[in-house]
Structure 1
Amino acid sequence: MAQYDIVIRNGMIIDGARSPRYKGDIGVKDGVIKRMGRIKDGEGARELDAEGMVVAPGFIDLHTHYDAQVFWDPYLTTSGWNGVTSVVIGNCGFGFAPCKKDLQYRAMESMTKVEAIPMATMEASIPWDWESYPEMLDSIDRAPKAVNLLPYVGVNPLLIWVMGLEDAKAGRKPTEAETEELKRLLNEAMDAGACGWSSQTLGVSGDPTAPTAGGAAQSDFDGTPMPSDVMWPETQIALAEVLGERGEGFIELSGATMPREHWEQLAEVSGAPIIYQALPASNMMIDMHKNLFEWFDRCREKGLRIYGQGITQNPPLLFTFDYWDLWGPVWEEYAGPNTQNEKILENLADESIREKLRAEPLKYMFIGGVDEARVVSVENSENEQWIGQSVGDIAEARGVHVVDAICDLVISDNLKTSFQAPQFDIGIEGIKQLLENSWVIPGLSDGGAHLKYLAAGSYATELISLYVREHEMLSLEEAHWRLSALPAFCAGFQDRGTLREGAAADIVVYDYEKLDYEFPNFRHDLPGDEYRVVSAGMGYRFVLVNGEVTIEDDKETHIHSGKLLRGGRGKSAEA
């Protein structure tokens, strides 16, 4: 009789704990790693040949917005196609619970902009069989999953539930009684299995008229700040007190404009790790990040756990003018997602509107400029000569302004031209700087969000194939610690993140020399007859989630062994 459900044989084991690699076997039983080393032949009900393969802990994707996608995509793609076995939801203060029934549509409206999830997709997939946070977790528990989910509590739904939508968005300071109710609701959510709370705080406390650091791309559907952008620091401290009183929990916070003293106070009061969002691997931010790292070091000397999460991946944004909103308010007004396609064509042909677009800077914030956008595909065969060229090159070749070059091209293709554009001025020196800091968590997939132009769930595949194998910035031992053990520690995963006896059997088996990922591409596979951008991984021989094979030879096995990790564990919070 077989002693193990699965034996992974003769693989090069990299355990994620920075231990030296070694060749050996892993025996899995009942979803748990029972034995590591040498295992006798015939002791596995199924034997997986890992000769010539790397065997490592599954990757943990800390920054996702799969809160809606979990109800229609068990694999949480593209993360689940790239070796990710666990994700965190409820990031940036956003989420769908608690939520009163009369505000459910309004909650989805917010996500159409701040995380760019199509309304038709949400309407077709979210069951809305809850109001409270514990009820939402029960609904997620019932959904089939091929990837594990660890839940955070978004601050925005809490503020709206307690204060009402208008007062929460106005930035009114909660009363003492309201603050106590916020704390009670957070305790209730954590009792049900939430692992902490999250917030995007990029505005001015109490002033929704002030501009936010996130700009239009990180705003509510109507262009106004989210409630968490204008929340008061005292409210964050009150929520931090909940974690301190419980002696557990974690904080994810996007708030680069907040005073560092406030960050330190949150860490001191909560006693919790705080994930600082976000550090783009930009060649333009080298000095800024050096200063930030020095502050992180001072915090660690004080015993305060503040860790940065880096945008260490560099997939291009892939888009058409059917949905594009990242070149600033004037482009968005005349050619943004809220404008019908027929009107976009009319606007781009209008000389008076082109004059306004020419007056705008070519580059807006952190997105590659209009001139940098590069043609990926065309609809009109006459435009095939421009494939692979930048709009700036096309404009020069035609002797026209950049705005005229892109407008003419898009019109002649009836909005079907696809472009790629860089983001965050990411470069190899910026990536190297982040990866050289052992306490920066690599990768920020934003999985489940910005679906029509971003697919960054391949960040771990990219890190290993490019920055370990090609550029030799890290050893494999260090890379796997950074991709699994460090995020597990920072975000509250209790029983996974390394390969060790007794740990959950979340395991990737891959061909190091063949590991790669697709160039982002469009797929029309969303509920509500919508499309998205994806990037699948290649070279994954097996992926195991809780001891069952969910990916084999880069293909889904349709085995849904993922779990809701209440309290950070693969069992109920009470167990």
Structure 2
Amino acid sequence: MFDLVIRNGTIVDGTGRARFVGDIAVRDGVLEQVGGTVHGRGDREIDATGLVVTPGFVDTHTHFDGQITWDDLLEPSASHGVTTIVAGNCGVGFAPVLPERREQLVQLMEGVEDIPGVAMTEGMTWDWVTFPEYLDALDTRAWSMDVGTQITHGALRVWVMGDRAIGDTTPTADEVDAMAALVAEAVRAGALGFSTSRTFSHRAPDGNFVPGTFATADELWPIAAAASGAGRVVFQLAPLGTTSQDPEEVLKELDWMRRLSLEFGVTVSPVLAQIPTNPGLYREVLDGALAARADGAMVIPQVSAKSQGLLLGLTTSHAFMRRPTFVGLAAAHVGDLDALVAQLRRPEVRAEILAEEDLPLTGELFEGIAAFAQNATSIIFPIDDRVDAEPTADDSVAGIASRRGLSPLEVMYDLMLEQDGRALLMAGINNYANCSLDGVHDMLTHPASVIGLSDAGAHCGLLVDASMPTMLLTHWVRDRTRGPRL
């Protein structure tokens, strides 16, 4: 007798082999049979004739570190077929933490991952100090999916080094030993691994680089040794050079990742994307990772199934948010979008904003998006009810402007006011060279890569890539017309 039997489903098992029709049996939460005919009965039986049956998605790259302490559903991932998530990525997390350092870790997460600090401060239970206590606190909860997490470099450095954790500060030998001991303790308690960030694009709200950005082998090697000595682990990172025009940086990073994996037996999991300044670099990294595997190293880059960019609009960031007239109107109509839109629709206001120069930068988080949006109209696309995952250059703001005989900024201004000011535009920055996802197809099908990098739970005001599993099935398996499907 089984708890559940699913009969006559078209099974896509996630291994890459062809789909097949068969039954599935589950007992005590464990798959007892996949395929063939299940001869026993189930307490519950489902006729899946004509339906596809798949395992849930494992999302290896999320930032639910705080949300898992208060949210049982873990939306939006739960609505996109995810059944397992891994948190504690990119070197930012919340354990270990001293009470007086909580706000510092919140600020790091807010700066790197665009999660509102007030939501984390008020939402988290903070019923832990050490990493094992963090896992114990998580053990008291139940979610719609399985949860795993990693110990993060930022939290480690802040715990051990205090105010010296930030910036290009070298820890003492005793401090390195202390971090290594904490990592070993975390892995023995159940941490899946250790994560760090070395990319210059990850910064705290005050503009400082996150802890660990400049860490050398003298710091990273003992941490990896301690982690591997305590269990089988992943060493996850956002590597140096991921947003750089200098390909030598990311290739040098690949070399030490290979050596780290060979020496300590850890699986190294760097994030990887196609960058606009060097759109072919990703292939060198993937080929290098594959060559490293032939040597016995496990370097497995995480790649995305979609373009990576920003959502722009009045309800988030946009090209005009530093224009004096807009700043004044936004301040006068806080919380009243309809009133703001009514003012922005006035022809004289439109003309004034379009003619103005931006206010000087003040160091405010993400204010540089305005200048980016003004100069990136060839890769910014309006979003309507029919979301096009792979729009062409003609669909861009610049393309529309050319057809209408207007400036790109005029078009962008008008598009933002559609849907009563709730319209959004998508900027395709990474993974969208030549307005095409061909590079993504190459990354997804490369034998060295693994799908990840949804950043679910993060970037609340800039992007929502937690929908990646749905896009994988809809665009890549079913709908794509501008190139090969999966």
If the length of structure 2 is used for normalisation, what is the TM-score? 0.79
Whether the 8 Å contact between 1:362 and 1:370 is mirrored in structure 2 is no
Structure ranking higher on relative contact order (CA contacts 8 Å, 6+ apart): 1
Structure 2 residue matching 1:73: 3-state secondary structure: coil
Do residues 107 (structure 1) and 105 (structure 2) align?
A: yes
Matches within 5 A, 1:328-477: 341-342=330-331, 349=353, 352-354=356-358, 364=372, 369-370=376-377, 372-376=379-383, 391-392=397-398, 401-403=407-409, 406=412, 416-426=422-432, 427-471=436-480, 473=484
Distance 1:393 1:38, change over 3 A: closer
Deviation track 1:232-272 (CA, whole Å, cap 9, x = no partner) reads 33211111111332352111111143523322222122211
Whether 2:231 is the aligned partner of 1:234: answer: no
* Offset of residue 374 of structure 1: 3.9
Count of aligned residue pairs for this structure pair = 439
5 Å matches for 1:93-492? Answer: 93-164=91-162, 166-202=163-199, 212=200, 214=201, 218-257=202-241, 259=252, 260-280=254-274, 285-314=278-307, 317-324=310-317, 341-342=330-331, 349=353, 352-354=356-358, 364=372, 369-370=376-377, 372-376=379-383, 391-392=397-398, 401-403=407-409, 406=412, 416-426=422-432, 427-471=436-480, 473=484
CA-to-partner distance for each residue in 1:55-82, whole Å, 9 max, x for gaps?
Answer: 2222111111011222343232222111
Segments of 5+ residues of structure 1 without an aligned counterpart are 203-211, 378-387, 476-575
- Contact 2:92/2:155 (<8 A) preserved: yes
Report the CA distance shift for 1:354/1:181 in structure 2 as closer, same or farther (over 3 A): closer
1:67 aligns with 2:76: no
* Structure 2 Cα separation of the partners of residues 340 and 306 of structure 1: 51
Change (3 A) 1:315 1:92: closer
In structure 1, what is the Cα distance between the partners aligned to 2:165 and 2:173?
15
Q: For residues 353-373 of structure 1, what are the alpha-carbon distances to aligned partners after superposition, in whole Å with 9 as ceiling and x for unaligned?
A: 34989xx999849x9924543
The CA RMSD measured in Å over matched residues stands at 3.6
Task: Indicate conservation of the 8 Å contact 2:110/2:117, yes or no.
Answer: yes
Distance 2:168 2:237 in 1: 18
Residue 121 of structure 2 aligns to which amino acid in structure 1?
Answer: E
Q: Structure 1-normalised TM-score?
A: 0.68
Counterpart secondary structure, 1:170 = coil
Name the CA distance, whole Å, in 1 between partners of 2:195 and 2:309.
27
CA positional deviation for 1:442: 2.2
Cα distance in structure 2, aligned partners of 1:17 and 1:350: 53
Q: Any idea what SS the aligned residue of 1:93 has?
A: coil
Q: Offset at 1:279?
A: 2.3
In structure 1, the partner of 2:244 is none
Instruction: Write the deviation string for residues 85-142 of structure 1: whole angstroms up to 9, x where unpaired.
Output: 1011000011011111112122212222210111232133111111111111122222
Which residue identity does 1:459 align to in structure 2?
A: M
Offset at residue 438 of structure 1 (A): 2.3
For residues 363-402 of structure 1, what are the alpha-carbon distances to aligned partners after superposition, in whole Å with 9 as ceiling and x for unaligned?
849x99245434447xxxxxxxxxx985446756786644
**In the alignment, is the contact (CA less than 8 A) between 1:169 and 1:230 conserved in 2?**
no
d(CA) in 2 for partners of 1:86, 1:361: 33
TM-superposed CA distance for 1:315, in Å, is 7.6
Task: State the shift of 1:306 in Å.
Answer: 0.4
- Label 1:11 to 1:412 Cα distance change in 2 as closer, same or farther (>3 A): closer
Equivalent-residue separation in structure 1 for 2:418 and 2:52 (angstroms): 49
Q: Distance in 2 between matches of 1:21 and 1:312?
A: 21
Cα separation, 2, equivalents of 1:469 and 1:416: 29
The 3 A distance-change label for structure 1 pair 44 and 268 is same
Q: Does the CA contact (< 8 Å) of 2:57 and 2:83 recur in 1? A: yes
Change (3 A) 1:172 1:333: farther
Q: Gapped runs of 5+ residues in structure 2? A: 242-248, 335-339, 341-348, 362-367, 385-393
Q: Displacement, 1:154?
A: 0.8
Give the Cα–Cα distance (whole angstroms) in 1 for the partners of residues 71 and 328 of structure 2: 29
1:109–1:119: 8 Å Cα contact kept in structure 2?
Answer: yes
CA distance in 2, matches of 1:302, 1:273: 13
Contact 1:64 1:87 in 2 (8 A): yes
Query: 2-side partners of 1:186 and 1:332: how far apart?
Result: 43
Instruction: Return the letter of the residue paired with 1:311.
Output: S
User: Following the alignment from structure 1 to structure 2, what is the Cα–Cα distance between the partners of residues 314 and 372?
Assistant: 11
Deviation of 1:12 (Å): 2.0
Matching of residue 86 in structure 1 with residue 70 in structure 2: no
Q: CA contact under 8 A between 1:10 and 1:23: conserved in structure 2?
A: yes
Q: CA deviation at 1:83?
A: 1.4
